[in-house]
Structure 1
Amino acid sequence: MTTLNLRPSTPGARVLGMGSWQPSRIVTNDELAQRVDTNDQWIRDRVGIQSRRIADEGTLLVDMAAEAGSLALKDAGLEPTDIDTVLVATCTMPDLIPNAAAQTATRIGIPAPGAFDVNTACAGFCYGLGIASDLIRAGSAGRTLVIGAEKLSDWLDWDDRSTSIIFADGAGAVVLGPAPDEASVGIGPVAWGSAGDMKDAIRINHATHGIVQEGQTVFRWATTQIAPVALRAVELAGLTLADIDVFIPHQANLRIVEAVTKRLRKAGAREDLRVADDIVHSGNTSSASIPLALDHMRAEGRVRSGDVALLVGFGAGLSFAGQVVVIP
């Protein structure tokens, strides 16, 4: 019988560094009100957004991904040559092929890595984190760059009030590496799933090339179904909600964030739980929203080294995923 020589595995993965990038252009609610029937208070009351960042036409999704990835490498103290795998979570590439990951790696200067994209829309970063962590644990990957990047402005009907006020552009990234021992493992098992029967809740209108969203349907689903996913992720990590210092859900809608947080506190989360509210000034950046919020919270001093963070993404598909992460 032939025996295959398997690469040695590790106890798991940990985060080594992080970074994020956003366009410089800030679009306010008042600016959007000049095009669609809305106003600043109407938008704040419904989704909690005050402003968002929109890239210019010449900025590509892979440009944003490369900027965020480069910053994450610098934060980790690593060179591009130290990375062997690149994963980009995105749902807004202009074409199905070529993928974003290989192009992004080349822009950063990473030589010949394994490179692939993950498209589970707003759940993409958590899916990517789970995949990368397991690749490292199995010995199939070493230091891995995971990026969430979206240029949603390319996929909007700017005359559709229900979507043009919500979505925005940006990228966030983390570098993962093998944990030297079990005590150093910094990424818990992923809790994930999907609800394909609700595929029409968020979709593309092929006539307009724009995103269509059934807002109330998504709101009802997220406010009832996401808290159990978060609880499952905590259980898989062998922890309780009382162990969680920071909660970073996908920044879809501030009302959804607040509703899910309320359910978690009723289930045992601490009152001093720090909760991401990046949507206020970044908008909904789909798969980029969680790493963006994480990096922004760290810059603001709201996330510190050693904190235990609960990440949960959810979006089109419908897809959802979450895991517990220890902040480096």
Structure 2
Amino acid sequence: MTHGSRVLALGHYQPARVLTNDDLAATVDTSDEWIRTRVGIRTRHIAAPDEPVDRMAAAAAAKALAGSGLAAEDIDLVLVATCTAVDRSPNTAARVAAQLGLASPATMDINVVCAGFTHALATADHAIRAGSAARALVIGVEKFTDFADWTDRSTCVLVGDGAGAAVVVASEEPGIGPVVWGSVPEMGHAVRIEGNPGRFSQEGQSVYRWATTQLPPIARRVCEQAGVRPEDLAAVVLHQANLRIIEPVARRIGAVNAVIARDVVDSGNTSAASIPLALSKLVERGEVEPGAPALLFGFGGNLSYAGQVIRCP
């Protein structure tokens, strides 16, 4: 009997081009010191013009699928978390399914911006628990640089491109804990990608205050729902928005023995891709043991949040 689901394998992809803080300082009024002091970022990866969201998503998903030992035809659900897909139809999930040669999966895109991956992971877990899917690809992907205002030094220094993916399968022993999710609708304007063409903007101080004060107790509730004490976490993978948010939030959660993902330093803010990208790297480098508990917690656009404790593959 199936009692839940677990993450079987992970994969990630980043474009080859790397943009440094010094590169940015040549085009906008900023400096390496200014960027590192305020957000902790050193570099970010920039997708090429011929490198759309679906290609990056497929590359990360192919790596995760190869690591899972499953065949393409085994996948019956594809969920893609993204807010930067340009085309409306076919959706990104359908394009990924076609590129990977999947048989006849359900395909859905989910737009919850920076909390997209954890929402999508919970959705896959719910579908598997309900018996409507057995093996899912869950992908977070963004080409955030397409939506950057490269004249605004407060936001253009943040963004990067990339993708991360997880293969999620039915499991007698649940490896994905209950999701705790929600939003603050009256503050949804604090992070925006609006207009035509869309441009990313945010009220940075409002987001910082909300994240550092309101999110730690919610994250502790995620641990409580999973039956895991914060001090027993092996890893904490928060949305990689800003090192000045990640470090104090992780500290206030009480995860004193955990590896704290700091991929934002090298990858920038990749929105829905940031959690699976950072988690995949931690697992690939052997920084967390198979079966170890990791807290995943996404937050940001819409002022939405979602988190769960998983057992690492």
Coarse TM-score class (shorter-chain normalised): over 0.9
User: Does the Cα contact within 8 Å between 1:157 and 1:209 map onto a contact in 2?
Assistant: no
Equivalent residue in structure 2 for 1:55, among 39, 44, 47: 47
Offset of residue 109 of structure 1 = 0.9
- Once the two structures are superposed, the pairs formed by residues 19-30 of structure 1 within 5 Å of their partners are 19-30=11-22
State the structure with more CA Rg: 1
Partners of 1:276 and 1:31 in 2: CA distance: 25
User: Does the Cα contact within 8 Å between 1:10 and 1:138 map onto a contact in 2?
Assistant: no
Structure 2 residue runs of 5 or longer lacking an equivalent are none
- Once the two structures are superposed, the pairs formed by residues 1-328 of structure 1 within 5 Å of their partners are 10-179=2-171, 181=172, 184-206=173-195, 209-265=198-254, 269-270=255-256, 272-328=257-313
User: Does the Cα contact within 8 Å between 2:8 and 2:166 map onto a contact in 1?
Assistant: yes
> What TM-score do you get using the length of structure 1 for normalisation?
0.93
Q: Deviations over 1:221-268 (max 9, x none)?
A: 111111122111111112221221110000000010011012112xxx
User: How many residue pairs were aligned?
Assistant: 313
Q: Deviations over 1:12-44 (max 9, x none)?
A: 001111100000100000000111100000000
Structure 1 residue runs of 5 or longer lacking an equivalent are 1-8
**Which runs of at least 4 in structure 1 moved beyond 6 Å after TM superposition?**
none
User: Does the Cα contact within 8 Å between 2:283 and 2:312 map onto a contact in 1?
Assistant: no
Moved more, 231-240 or 254-263: 231-240
Offset of residue 205 of structure 1 = 4.2
Partners of 1:99 and 1:232 in 2: CA distance: 34
> What TM-score do you get using the length of structure 2 for normalisation?
0.98
Letter in structure 1 aligned against 2:70: L
Offset of residue 10 of structure 1 = 2.0
Partners of 1:150 and 1:229 in 2: CA distance: 26
Partners of 1:11 and 1:27 in 2: CA distance: 45
Q: What fraction of aligned residue pairs are identical, expressed as a percent?
A: 51
Partners of 1:232 and 1:134 in 2: CA distance: 19
3-state DSSP of counterpart to 1:159? coil
Partners of 1:85 and 1:281 in 2: CA distance: 31
Offset of residue 162 of structure 1 = 1.3
Letter in structure 1 aligned against 2:186: D
3-state DSSP of counterpart to 1:163? coil
User: Does the Cα contact within 8 Å between 1:147 and 1:174 map onto a contact in 2?
Assistant: yes
